[in-house]
Structure 1
Amino acid sequence: MSTITLLLTQKAGMHRLFCMHYYPFSAILGQKRLKAALLACAVDPSIGGVLIRGEKGTAKTTAVRALAPLLPEIEVVGDCPYSCDPADGDTIHESCAARIRAGEEIEHSRRPVRLVELPLNATEDRLAGTIHIEKTLQRGERSFEPGLLAAANRGILYIDEVNLLEDHLVDLVLDAAASGVCRVAREGFNLEHPARFLLVGTMNPEEGELRPQFLDRFALSVTVHGENTPEMRKAIVRRRIAFENDPKAFIKLWDDEEQRLRELVRSARKLLPLIELREEIWDLLVGFSSKAGVQGHRSDIVMAKCASALAALRGKSSVDREELLEAARFALPHRIAGTIEETPETINGRLETILAEEQEEKDQKEKIESPSLRKAGLEYGMVPEEDFFDYPEDFQVPGAAAAGSLVFDFLEKKKRPSMK
């Protein structure tokens, strides 16, 4: 299963699983922030998901689809349509719980994490589930046909062009994402089942914005852009064409790097409960949210979780400023109140000013310095991207003008496959 992902669809009221090849996550050129945000949520799904904004053709969907194969397999109740965890009674729906209470032997199985795509033309019944008329008539009792929210439990719910999703479907997804439960009421039939999923949405801002309450439901946000250097554009095109010409051979080239990322996610999950957030980090964290003027406390929670996940990916035992700064850049931009004329770029500019001011005030007040950053002669964890680990080996970008963060060093490849 390292080279393919299970895709779930629905046709004529029946769910179907089929396999298809996906472009490897590690083969995506550039887009470090996008990849880092997705991996952070892979380490800690409770972060709450990612909203990816950007122009067309910037690998948004490619990156999301490539994430699922990097996640550890999950253990499920073998014949349960809701993928209940047999070891966790809190996530088991009533039918599974009743079988356990009755002393039935429960079949266990392991399978990959599902990526469930919600199409824009989906109906409410397809999303939440519906009464199966044929089975109901045959059995003389109501039979429920689970929907996409059931299939997405303990997996990834992906919505492409999320800003174009109809409002009544948005409300259903919002309710499930907030509570972790899907509640279905159909013709006197009431049912609840677990619906805990990693919510990922992609959108092009030129086609419209999201409703504010839906926007805030995404824990992290990333704005992506296309590459402008001729060398990078050529490398992207060559790599994509090589994949399309022979997907199996291309995927095989990246097996080692994909396995490294799987092990990275697995080890980071084990390390995550041990990550420490010192008092000065908590002070900076709440200071960022306060200065940004965001409403509520969701941004504080998200920053703490995201910074911890980034630290775990780096194999660290505690969160430092550099992880917190990147977490703030993920958690705050879509929560900062702006005028209708503002763009993601201008909001990000305001955010960078807020982060710099808060750090300066903190430095003056407590004289906190980071020895590792001072030794390297860096500021705020930002450095020239000297290693070009995302670029093909046979060229370099003149001037080394691109900037990248030290925090994302876990994305570095030890040895790149040759594309020649």
Structure 2
Amino acid sequence: MINEQSHKIRFPFTAIIGQEEMKLALLLNIIDPKIGGVMIMGDRGTGKSTIIRSLVDLLPDILVVENDPYNSHPVDIELMSDEVRQKVNNQEALDIISQKIQLIDLPLGATEDRVCGTIDIEKALQEGIKAFEPGLLAKANRGILYIDEVNLLDDHLVDLLLDAAASGWNTVEREGISISHPARFILIGSGNPEEGELRPQLLDRFGMHAQIKTVKDPELRVQIVEQRTTFDSYPQQFVLNYEQTQQTLIQNLLESRQNLPLVKLLYQDRIKISQICSELNIDGLRGDLVTNRAAKALACFEKRRQVTPNDIQRVIGLCLRHRLRTDPFETMDSGTKVNEVFKKIFNDEFEYS
């Protein structure tokens, strides 16, 4: 099966200068999709879309059932469509292929039917079958769903997306007919804060929040402009120059995904993470869970089997800053407040940083 995405020439991820916070958040979500996605906010023209689309070339291959609209897993029951599960139960042979994890774009004007899928009520009533036309959530299963300008998307639609991302399932109900299918995807949203933030209740559902800023250093700006100009003029040669660094990163991500279950986070450090969340008055337990997962993913990415306080410090701002606000009109904390509480709780162990 040919993946059209693989034939597009994209700016190499390893060639991107700066924006380390955003790049780290994206890589950690590839290693552990259960972190819960990333919300990326920043000025126009700062390369948000370029960086996100460059992820496609880093994504590993997965085994899928051929011609299945949900990218069903050939073995894992939880990642199968009803049709594939029925075939497995009947001991029918499955045609299995390998394909790259996909990045699906969700256009700003998409309707609920386009996103979630539609049920043909007439066919269902007349023929007695559940006629379902899959939507973007079906295509995104076991992949990445990207929404540019997510802060301009209707809150109701954002809520549906976040519910599906959290539960791993998409359910469509029409006229008493209900159809569900697996929808396990990494949700990535981006937007310009000048056009408004998501409501805190929705923002909290994203695992991480990265801030991306316009580069101020003149020499660095020139370097970025020259690099982009070279890519636009000689894209194939430019990509070739970064082939080795790209392959090294791809291999590291693959090994990290495999080795993640081996990484340990000490009990006393888990207690301290929860102390920080408690002191910051963060509602619920998402902050604790995401920080634990992100710290483990970072340690694994850097080929260590135990999380250090330094790992926690590097990810905790990304995991908690968007959970501090209760008032939609408050300004997003840059991470300073989180870092102050981190230093206070970890005190002597802060020497790692």
Tell me which interval the TM-score lies in, with the shorter structure as reference length. Answer: over 0.9
For the structure 1 residues 258 and 347, does the alpha-carbon distance in structure 2 shift closer, same or farther, using more than 3 Å as the test? closer
User: 1 CA distance for matches of 2:50 and 2:63?
Assistant: 26
Residue from 302, 315, 318 that aligns with 2:306:
318
Structure-1 separation of matches of 2:298 and 2:193: 27
Q: 2:58: which partner in 1?
A: 70
Cα displacement string for residues 203-259 of structure 1 (whole angstroms, at most 9, x for unaligned residues) = 111101102222011101111111111111011111111112232222111111110
Higher relative contact order (CA closer than 8 Å, sequence separation 6+) = 2
Residue 245 of structure 1 aligns with which residue? Answer: 233
Distance 1:168 1:19, change over 3 A: farther
- How well do the aligned residues superpose, as a CA RMSD in angstroms? 2.4
2:345 to 349, 358, 364: 358
**Counterpart residue number, 1:258:** 246
Q: How does 1:208-219 map to 2 (within 5 A)?
A: 208-219=196-207
Cα pair 2:43 2:212 within 8 Å, conserved: yes
Match of 2:67 in 1: 79
Say yes or no: does 1:153 pair with 2:141: yes
Determine if contact 2:32/2:257 at 8 Å carries over to the other structure: yes
SS at match of 1:287: helix
User: How has the CA–CA distance of structure 1 residues 356 and 184 changed in structure 2, closer, same or farther, with 3 Å as cutoff?
Assistant: same
Contact 1:288–1:328 (CA under 8 A) maintained in structure 2:
no
Residue pair 2:141, 2:185 contacting (<8 A) in 1 also: yes
- Give the whole-Å Cα distance in 2 for the aligned partners of 1:213 and 1:188: 30
The 1-side partners of 2:279 and 2:350 are apart by: 21
Q: Kindly state the Cα deviation for residue 168 of structure 1 after the two structures are TM-superposed.
A: 2.5
What are the within-5 Å matches in structure 2 for residues 262-341 of structure 1? 262-337=250-325
Amino acid at match of 2:138: A
Paired residues of 2:309 and 2:350 also in contact (CA < 8 A): no
- Aligned-partner SS, 1:355: helix
Determine the C-alpha separation between the residues in 2 that align with 1:149 and 1:26: 29
- Unaligned 5+ segments in structure 2 are none
For the pair 1:199 / 2:190, whether they are aligned, the reply is: no
Looking at CA atoms only, which structure, 1 or 2, has the larger radius of gyration?
1
Structure 1 counterpart of 2:104: 116
1:349 has 2:336 as partner: yes
Q: Deviations over 1:104-143 (max 9, x none)?
A: 1100000011101111100111101124699989988553
Aligned to 1:34: 22
Q: Aligned partners of 1:38 and 1:6: how far apart in 2?
A: 22
Q: TM-score, normalised by structure 1?
A: 0.79
Paired position in structure 2 for 1:106 = 94
Q: Which amino acid aligns with 2:242?
A: W
- Determine helix, strand or coil for the equivalent of 2:232: helix
Distance 1:40 1:76, change over 3 A: same
Q: Does 1:230 align with 2:218?
A: yes
Q: Distance in 2 between matches of 1:332 and 1:190?
A: 36
Q: Distance in 2 between matches of 1:23 and 1:148?
A: 25
Query: How many residues get paired?
Result: 353
| Corresponding position of 1:49 | 37
Amino-acid identity (%): 41
Corresponding residue of 1:59 = 47
For 2:226, the aligned partner's letter is: R
2-structure distance, mates of 1:369, 1:220: 23
SS in 1 for 2:74: coil
SS at match of 1:84: coil
C-alpha distance in 2, partners of 1:73/1:198?
Answer: 15
Write the letter of the residue equivalent to 2:49.
Answer: T
Range with greater deviation from structure 2 (87-96 or 301-310) = 87-96
Which moved further from structure 2: 103-112 or 135-144? 135-144
Give 5+ residue unaligned stretches, structure 1: 8-17, 374-380, 382-420
Counterparts in 2 of 1:142 and 1:281: CA distance versus 1, 3 Å: closer
Asked if 1 retains the 8 angstrom alpha-carbon contact of 2:200 and 2:328, the reply is no
Other structure's SS at 1:202 match: strand
Q: TM-score, normalised by structure 2?
A: 0.93
Q: How does 1:354-393 map to 2 (within 5 A)?
A: 354-360=341-347, 363=348, 368=349, 373=352, 381=353
Q: Distance in 2 between matches of 1:352 and 1:369?
A: 11
Q: Which moved more, 1:296-305 or 1:180-189?
A: 180-189
Q: CA deviation at 1:343?
A: 2.5
Shift of 1:341: 5.9
Residue 404 of structure 1: aligned partner:
none
User: 1:183 offset after TM fit, Å?
Assistant: 0.4
CA distance in 1, matches of 2:192, 2:146: 15
CA distances 1:353-382 after superposition (whole Å, capped 9, x unpaired): 22222222xx3xxxx575xx4xxxxxxx2x
Give the aligned residue type for 1:306: A
